[in-house]
Structure 1
């Protein structure tokens, strides 16, 4: 980072730390009065926070080193008794970032201050409205508020911890008939895991989200262990128990043992190919899957950037069920809302035919006709998202489906979902 820019940023953070009275004269011959950084450089030089070279120059176009930046931070720390609470917070963050360099300058940074940088709290709130309307005249609607609080911490240089609490509150509607959640006013520990380097792999151990590839096979939580390795050809191996109990729409069933292996190959800068094998097993009931104790699922898929701002994705999957054993999904997307970029937006259109015994728990909301997983789902989806203000994303989508399994009638379900997400 250039020295003039650093000085300008530092001035913004510590303005007023050393008082409001500054010398009016220009201390550096190479910083003209009309330059954008003049005020910042002059104020900080007068406060003794930045200084120049013996020839009277500031050399603002020179890239600043971490040691030089630490000197600026040290001087700001010396004046921190006059800083506001917000300014002190900025100085504290800088003191942690440059702790090693500050120690070299004999500037003390307490152990507590160092450790505070390894703990991060994040949050997300989502208000979602859903409405299902089928040919039989049944109408179901829900309004739910989901709140997530995440806590991450660095254990050491290689291992970290993350935990996430989730609360779901049913504000009104027919909660028992929701396609995505049958609980009301619940608080659960969605994530609790450690992650780090293990024998040349990246290992995740505990309860964690599992959404392999495009998420068409699975979107849920697993209690177990996952290891990943590879660069161009990325491989993940997983073993554990599914934390969800409503796989294949079989509500209130035992948690299934799951073994999985997935591959992701970067065929080019624009295209990624993927595949996966998943085995779900009920260790307590040999008749869980129509007389068998397990079910195997395979998938292949891709994602490709077909043009600037345009992406195409697809997945084909098949299980070893006797019938209703296959599914496919494709989606064409344009741009996409970014929570950090105000005014960003995106739109997509997709088509799916996912038979009821092919996918245990897809990420697709409204996947199944009549909001029941045992009916399968075949139809299209259109959607739009938008970021109106920082860290806020609005999304709306419409899904039109009919049942997808052997002997199904032509009954259709229209599904509307609108939501607002807030990140903090």
Structure 2
């Protein structure tokens, strides 16, 4: 027993000294080189077999000892060592296991020249030379252990990560207020505003692969509909009429096997959470400022905050299916007539995302929506009044079809866009039909002028009623949009550092409410986003 301990005492320092410059053994190599995982890795017997190791390298002697004396390095299939590459935890564990296994083998065979006398003398010399450093290192480790224990004892949570963002917005609009009656006053009475939105997100994981997201929000950014007369001017980050601190999202996501994912959420389970919108180039926290330009509104904006469930299944890198059912969360928890999980306002979505190559993604989407009572918002708070509510306060169902695409032409230019087509049907007090369309092209410029910055331009047609059988009264005009508005938007996000970004943006609405009688409206914003 004493002899075994003595052997361990002599050999372990040599292995540890060499191991920290070890890139990988055969097991670690297999974990990194998936494409080569079925190829046998021949044992390297001489350091000269490693083509990228030179006698002038600082670790040459240590590698030579590990290869030729102990035989614990296999190298990569191409005969390289890759010594300048970072070492992962998995590779460290695999390499350490291989080294200790070889150590046990050598001790078991009682190799006579396992450790030479000069090795022992070298170790003793190093021990004496670095005695003060070893004492200092022990003191630092003791202090680190004490601090770690204090942090663990007072940490916020063992399972929850807290992240957040704060957005400051300065904005104003320019142009006469929308009003289809020329005799009425249409003077622009919108004043410049300085507002904010703050969000705290608690991201909790119970298994390491799942996530429960709980977001608390306070938002003072105004909805511009009332002051401009049209929802076409709305921001994507406005308060939507909420005041104070409120729970803006409560969603749980967990994997099913290696290719499936399920979402369950009683609060704000939106299609954009569980479905690829294919508009990441100009959407997101630091992208377009307008509500319309974020993504296809008739597809990914149900018109209410959802409660429900969804799933995704990735067949391979070229094909993915996403589907979900959500209902208005303020009706889902009410058992009375016209409410509940299945009888309230609801939306059911299915999308097939096709990626023929790494540069191109195409989304084919279908959404069925039902509005029985309460808020009627067929186009997610965008587009004209007729598009959002083509049949007044009568129960409505819609079949929405969407085609989205994103082409990453290069690392500096992305082209995207969408087309949305909606068939609406009146379900109560009549049987009328309406057709609604919307479309956009997006141009994204990652790393424009400087790495980490983003430029973008969007041109589109907000949701518009192209045909409608419904008349509020027998002699009234149909609720159709007579003309066509254009949405033109440009923005530039400047990255100050990893946590601060500044985004000036401007968008123009021509013929607001799809009516040539209305003058154009400009909206200008300057926002600063802090993430932490």
- TM-score range normalised by the length of the shorter chain: 0.5 to 0.7
The answer to whether residue 86 in structure 2 is matched with residue 66 in structure 1 is no
| Contact 2:373-2:395 within 8 A present in 1 as well | no
SS at 1:66 equivalent: helix
| Contact 1:381-1:398 within 8 A present in 2 as well | yes
The answer to whether residue 218 in structure 2 is matched with residue 191 in structure 1 is no
In 2, the alpha carbon distance for the partners of 1:129 and 1:392 equals 16
Tell me the matched-pair count.
Answer: 329
Deviation of the 1:382 alpha carbon: 1.2
Aligned pairs (5 A) from 1:149-160: 149-156=200-207, 158-160=209-211
SS at 2:142 equivalent: helix
Deviation of the 1:244 alpha carbon: 9.2
| Contact 2:456-2:492 within 8 A present in 1 as well | yes
In 2, the alpha carbon distance for the partners of 1:223 and 1:204 equals 10
In structure 2, do the counterparts of structure 1 residues 201 and 183 end up closer, same or farther at CA, with 3 Å as the change threshold?
same
The one-character-per-residue Cα deviations of 1:64-107 (angstroms, maximum 9, x if unpaired) are 61378899xxx98985432498xx45x999xxxxxxxxxxxxxx
Which residue number in structure 1 is paired with residue 122 of structure 2?
none
In 1, the alpha carbon distance for the partners of 2:155 and 2:194 equals 43
The one-character-per-residue Cα deviations of 1:18-71 (angstroms, maximum 9, x if unpaired) are xxxxxxxxxxxxxxxx979xxxxxxxxxxxxxxx99x9xxx9959561378899
Which residue number in structure 2 is paired with residue 82 of structure 1?
143
Deviation of the 1:151 alpha carbon: 0.9
In structure 2, do the counterparts of structure 1 residues 394 and 311 end up closer, same or farther at CA, with 3 Å as the change threshold?
same
The answer to whether residue 261 in structure 2 is matched with residue 202 in structure 1 is yes
Deviation of the 1:222 alpha carbon: 2.2
| Contact 1:355-1:377 within 8 A present in 2 as well | no
Q: Which structure is larger by alpha-carbon Rg, 1 or 2? A: 2
Deviation of the 1:270 alpha carbon: 1.1
* Unmatched tracts of structure 1, length 5 or more: 7-33, 37-51, 94-109, 246-253, 359-372
The partner residue of 1:261 within 339, 344, 350 is 350
TM-score (norm 2): 0.52
| Contact 1:285-1:293 within 8 A present in 2 as well | no
Which residue number in structure 2 is paired with residue 298 of structure 1?
401
In 1, the alpha carbon distance for the partners of 2:141 and 2:226 equals 56
Which residue number in structure 2 is paired with residue 335 of structure 1?
446
In 2, the alpha carbon distance for the partners of 1:216 and 1:390 equals 29
In structure 2, do the counterparts of structure 1 residues 407 and 209 end up closer, same or farther at CA, with 3 Å as the change threshold?
closer
Which residue number in structure 1 is paired with residue 502 of structure 2?
394
In structure 2, do the counterparts of structure 1 residues 204 and 188 end up closer, same or farther at CA, with 3 Å as the change threshold?
same
Which residue number in structure 2 is paired with residue 421 of structure 1?
529
Which residue number in structure 2 is paired with residue 138 of structure 1?
188
The answer to whether residue 296 in structure 2 is matched with residue 216 in structure 1 is yes
Deviation of the 1:165 alpha carbon: 0.8
Q: Report the more deviating stretch, 392-401 or 314-323.
A: 314-323
In structure 2, do the counterparts of structure 1 residues 415 and 139 end up closer, same or farther at CA, with 3 Å as the change threshold?
farther
The partner residue of 2:489 within 362, 368, 381 is 381
The answer to whether residue 470 in structure 2 is matched with residue 412 in structure 1 is no
Q: Report the more deviating stretch, 226-235 or 275-284.
A: 275-284
Deviation of the 1:132 alpha carbon: 1.6
Deviation of the 1:237 alpha carbon: 0.7
Deviation of the 1:348 alpha carbon: 1.6
In structure 2, do the counterparts of structure 1 residues 126 and 315 end up closer, same or farther at CA, with 3 Å as the change threshold?
same
In 2, the alpha carbon distance for the partners of 1:357 and 1:255 equals 25
SS at 2:207 equivalent: coil
More strand by share: 1
Aligned pairs (5 A) from 1:301-316: 301-316=404-419
More helix by share: 2
Aligned pairs (5 A) from 1:117-128: 118-128=159-169
The answer to whether residue 219 in structure 2 is matched with residue 168 in structure 1 is yes
SS at 2:220 equivalent: strand
In structure 2, do the counterparts of structure 1 residues 296 and 324 end up closer, same or farther at CA, with 3 Å as the change threshold?
closer
| Contact 1:118-1:154 within 8 A present in 2 as well | yes
Deviation of the 1:235 alpha carbon: 1.1
* Unmatched tracts of structure 2, length 5 or more: 1-18, 24-56, 60-65, 74-81, 101-135, 177-185, 228-232, 280-294, 332-342, 377-388, 425-432, 467-480
SS at 1:65 equivalent: helix
In structure 2, do the counterparts of structure 1 residues 414 and 191 end up closer, same or farther at CA, with 3 Å as the change threshold?
same
In structure 2, do the counterparts of structure 1 residues 390 and 282 end up closer, same or farther at CA, with 3 Å as the change threshold?
same
Deviation of the 1:114 alpha carbon: 11
Aligned pairs (5 A) from 1:334-353: 334-336=445-447, 344-353=452-461
